[in-house]
Amino acid sequence: MDAFEYTTNPSRVIFGAGSITKLPFELKRLNLSKPLLLSTPQQKDQITTSLLPILETASLPPAGLYANTTMHTPTSITADALAYLHSRAADSIVSFGGGSTIGLGKALTIRTGLPHLCVPTTYAGSEMTPILGETAEGRKTTRSDPKILPGVVVYDVEFTFGLPVGMSATSGVNAVAHAVEALYAQSANPITSLLALEGIKALAASLPTIVATPNDLAARSLAQYGAYLCATCLGSVGMSLHHKLCHVLGGTFNLPHAETHTIVLPHALAYNVPKLDKGVLEKLAGALPGSEGDAVRGLEVLLGKLGVQRGLREFGMQEGNVDRAVEVAMEKPYWNPRAVEREGLREVIRRCWAGEPARMDL
């Protein structure tokens, strides 16, 4: 057995259908009584009908509801939310939603020190990581700090039923991406690798069922379980080319987060294949039905089953932005198992823009 290092992130997880009813207990356990609720404008009504009654019944009326969350966590939105938080004298933060809402909660807690509790409604996984990505002046930057990690996460599968089929698919692939990179991260270890493979298996099995039958409870639960495992991996190891590209593309060109991850994933893996351990690739392929021993093929098969869009141009990116993306990505590259070369990187981004299948010919 090779030597390794592994840090367990200290967060409390409440998992199961109907577990939202335990949120008041979690707040009281921490001696909290005035939570500020966060959501997107689209999920404001869901909070009003599903979350507020539970808190009010437990004599925990929230300090307020900030429902202007948007993707990529712009610092301007954070400043606005911070002013609102102070005006309401909140003693904690409860984020209800996906990566955008949880990201804002992280941005607020690192600035205030207030406890952060999450109710994830997608498979993005931000709730299990001590990582914060913020956007300012067209640039997305990330930082990692144990204080960023939310303290309590309530996984209630019932809140994922409102997630549209298309977003369910791309959000799930976003989670898969966390685990794929964890398998070959610089700080990869046997513990995160086990979690990663189990998470990928769960999502690869459940996502096609969700696309075909959106209200399948067993599939939704399995997907949420897989997303939790994949996010735990991302919170424990470093990121590589895939996440760097997604941060650059999303932050620079305002591309949708989950869809960008979905498009980039097979291309980033294909680029790295020549420098990856064959044993790792075999295990990854084994977690992906239809791979025939080829991990990149396995991802392509999964994306085909899900019927997701494959080109960044479908989300508004112009071909002329390819070179700009290369420049930004090369400025502060993440560690990657294969050296990131300009021409190869440009072709990876061009293929992502065009929506072409991933190929291992670079």
Give the pLDDT confidence score for residue 6 in this predicted structure. Answer: 80
Report if residue 7 sits inside a domain: no
Same domain, 151 and 182: no
Is residue 2 in a domain? Answer: no
Q: Is residue 1 part of a domain?
A: no
Distance separating the N- and C-terminal Cα atoms of the chain = 33
The verdict on residue 361 lying in a domain is no
Contacts of residue 350, defined as CB under 8 A and 6 or more positions apart, other chains included, come to 319, 322
Tens digit of each residue's pLDDT (9 = 90 or more) over 261-286? 999 999 999 999 999 999 999 999 99
Could you list the residue range(s) of the whole structural domain that residue 209 is in? Answer: 167-354
Pair (152, 174) in one structural domain? no
Rounded Cα distance between 302 and 297, Å, is 9
Listed in sequence order, the residues at least 6 apart from 305 whose beta carbon sits closer than 8 Å to its beta carbon are: 207, 208, 211
Residues 324 and 190 in one domain: yes
The alpha-helical segments, DSSP class H, found in 50-164 are 52-57, 75-88, 99-112
Each as own residue / partner, the long-range contacts of residues 355-358 (CB below 8 Å, 24 or more positions apart, any chain) are: 355/263, 355/309, 355/310, 355/311, 355/312, 355/313, 355/314, 356/310, 356/311, 357/266, 357/300, 357/310, 358/266, 358/267, 358/269, 358/270, 358/296, 358/299, 358/300
The pLDDT value given to residue 101: 96
* Window from 238-242, 312-316, 343-347 with minimum mean pLDDT: 238-242
Question: Are 171 and 303 contained in the same domain?
Answer: yes
Whether 156 and 185 share a structural domain: no
Q: How far apart are CA 23 and CA 96, in angstroms?
A: 12
Residue 20 above 90 pLDDT?
yes
pLDDT in tens, 304-313: 999 999 999 9
pLDDT tens by residue, 136-185? 988 888 888 999 999 999 999 999 998 999 999 999 999 999 999 999 99
Quick one: 78 and 50 in the same domain? yes
User: Are 72 and 133 found together in one domain?
Assistant: yes
178 and 154 share one domain: no
Residue at which a domain ends, from 145, 160, 175: 160
| pLDDT confidence band for 44 (50 / 70 / 90) | very high
Which pLDDT score, from 0 to 100, does residue 138 have? Answer: 80
Last residue of a domain, one of 135, 160, 185: 160
66/68 Cα distance (integer angstroms): 6
pLDDT for 56 beyond 80: yes
Q: How many domains does the chain have?
A: 2
- Position 52 in a domain: yes
Same domain flag for 211 and 240 = yes
pLDDT score, position 283: 98
pLDDT above 80 (res 332) = yes
66 falls in which pLDDT band (50, 70, 90)? Answer: very high
If asked whether residues 125 and 273 sit together in one domain, one would say: no
Residues 121, 26: Cα–Cα separation, whole Å? 18
Among 136, 160, 184, give the residue marking a domain's end. 160
pLDDT above 70 as % of the chain = 100
Q: Residue 37 is part of a domain; what is its CATH number?
A: 3.40.50.1970
- Total-model pTM: 0.93
* 260: in domain: yes
Model pLDDT, residue 2:
77
Q: Is residue 359 part of a domain?
A: no
pLDDT value for 317: 97
Average pLDDT, the chain: 95
pLDDT band for position 81 (50/70/90)?
very high
Do 174 and 119 lie in one domain? The reply is: no
Same domain, 228 and 94: no
- Flag whether 6 is in a domain: no
**CATH code for the domain in which residue 257 is found:** 1.20.1090.10
